[in-house]
Amino acid sequence: MPPRTSLGQPWPVRGRPMTMNHPVFLVCAWACALLVGGCASYQPLPLPERAQLMNGVGELHHSLPATATHEVSKAIDVQQPLDPRQVGLLAILNAPELRTERGEFAVAQAGVVQSGLIPNPSMSLGYAALLGGPGIAGAWTASLAQDVASLVTYKSRVAAAKTHVEQVNADLLWKEWQVAQKARLLAVGIYWTDQSLRFSRTQLNLLTRTAGEMQRAVEQNNATLPDLTPLLASRAALAQSVATLKLQQLKNWADLNALLGLVPSARFAIAAPAARQASDDVDALAASVSRRRPDLVALQLGYRAADEGVRSAILGQFPALVLGGTWGMDTSKVRTAGPTVTFDVPIFKRNQDQIALSRATRLLLREQYQVRLDATESTIRALRTRMAVVATQLVGAQQDAATAEAQAATARAAFAAGNLDARALTDYASTVLARRLTVIDLERAAGEAQVGLELELGLGLPQTRLAPLDNAHES
């Protein structure tokens, strides 16, 4: 029944009523369908409930992925003693601290998606019902507008975002290199500490036997207490040294196992570090290090992204501009349509803040890159000098150790013949141990310097990322 006036007469109805086939309803339904179809759905990602430490090296992920299409994956034989380089690769494949790589890279890739999106167009609809007056229909208004200012900086934004992804990738590779470096240095330290413990224990056993023989001689009145005292003192000092080495070794193993994702009590055999001579073309390698070192490449990419940011900020001076069109129909069914333009008048703000910030950021990254280059050059020169000095000292220390061992052998023969007392024999044995430990310390220093030089020159480590994208381990 039509509505009535206060006098009981039907209210006049002007214009056609809207139906489901009306164009406005069709447009709204189409827009809602697009909106719902483009929405993402929720997927839960529960937190882990327990730690994922492995009990032994055999449980670690040890397959090296292929770095090129024509290559096949290779596996590290974890049943054999592992050299420091292999330990470093295992650290890359299993280090818990590298498990965040997937998330960091995904965040950078999301930035590319974000930079490639342009603002959605704005649409407005309006309807005014006719309540009185000379009109014959309700009034309609519709408008559609698009921000075109963002299109001006689109290319620079996308280029900066893609460069940032490459920078993050280089940073993550450098993080893998640093993890491998820590593992390699710990493996070198563990190997040579084991050698020190082996020689020290041998000497401690020798002193213990000699002290026992001297103790029996004192009890039989064949020696005096002053003959026994130096032996006991030397044995106590050496026992303390062995205990200190054991504690240091325990810490080294705990640090290495933490890098590998192993329980602290896990142990495996470490092979002797390969003896390598310093490269003769260190200067040439140092000159081209900026093309190999991931951290230097990352700084270059960061500078390039900052340079694109400067371009984008300069283009951002273009005033905000919105283009669109309107359509309308008044109550007398008069229809109108036409374009609309909305823009800022750049009187007070012309993007000066973003331009100044982007230029300052670019300058900062340039100086950081120069500082890193200078530090790299200085470190390479220092390591090369250190390796030369250690090599010279090592030759002399090995000669001294060989002489001391020959003298100790003569002393043991003299002691057995009764021509040398226990105190003198202990001094000879202590000299052998000191000379041998000096050689071991120099060997360790040479190995650590070699590992450090390889890292500084960008050598000996994979040029592509190896850390797996998931936490799965081989059975």
| Angle, in degrees to the nearest 10, between helices 84-94 and 225-260 | 40
Best CA proximity match to 201, nearest among 230, 234, 238 = 238
The count of residues in the chain is 475
Would you give per-residue pLDDT tens digits along the chain (475 residues)?
444 434 344 434 444 444 545 555 555 666 666 555 556 677 787 877 777 788 888 888 888 887 655 666 788 888 999 999 999 999 999 988 888 887 888 888 898 888 888 888 888 999 998 888 888 888 889 999 988 878 888 888 888 889 889 999 999 999 999 999 999 999 999 999 999 999 999 888 888 888 888 888 888 887 778 777 888 888 898 999 999 999 999 999 999 999 999 999 999 999 998 876 656 688 888 889 999 999 999 999 999 989 988 888 888 887 778 888 898 888 888 899 989 888 888 778 788 888 899 999 999 999 999 999 999 999 999 999 999 999 999 999 999 999 999 998 998 888 888 788 777 878 888 899 999 999 999 999 999 999 999 999 998 888 888 876 554 343 3
Q: What is the DSSP code (8-state) at residue 38?
A: T
Phi, psi of 471 (to 5 degrees): -100, 15
What distance in Å separates the CA atoms of residue 400 and residue 145, rounded to the nearest whole number?
88
CA 217 to each of CA 230, 341, 453: distance values in angstroms, whole numbers, following the listed order: 15, 111, 55
Contacts of 113 (CB under 8 A, 6+ apart): none
The DSSP result for 252-264, as a single string, is HHHHHHHHHTB-T
Strand pairing partners for 122?
A: 145
Which long-range contacts link 118-124 to residues 24+ away (Cβ below 8 Å)? 118/147, 118/150, 118/151, 118/154, 119/146, 119/147, 119/150, 121/145, 121/146, 121/324, 122/146, 122/322, 122/324, 123/31
- Tell me the HSE value of 438 on the side-chain side, using a 13 A CA sphere: 19
Best CA proximity match to 252, nearest among 198, 312, 190 = 190
Residue 344: the pLDDT is: 80
What distance in Å separates the CA atoms of residue 422 and residue 222, rounded to the nearest whole number?
12
User: Is residue 22 within 8 Å of residue 145, measured between CB atoms?
Assistant: no
Amino acid occupying residue 428: Y
User: Is residue 231 within 8 Å of residue 430, measured between CB atoms?
Assistant: no
Residue 14: the pLDDT is: 43
The DSSP result for 45-75, as a single string, is -PPPSS---BSSGGGS--EEPPSSTT---EE
Q: Is 215 exposed, middle or buried (0-12, 13-18, 19+ CB in 10 A)?
A: middle
Residue 386: the pLDDT is: 93
- Is the full-model pTM beyond 0.85? no
What distance in Å separates the CA atoms of residue 416 and residue 310, rounded to the nearest whole number?
84
| Buried b / exposed e along 104-130 (16+ C-beta atoms within 10 A) | ebeebbebbeebeeeeeeeeeeeeeeb
Tokens of 251: 């810490």
What distance in Å separates the CA atoms of residue 466 and residue 176, rounded to the nearest whole number?
8
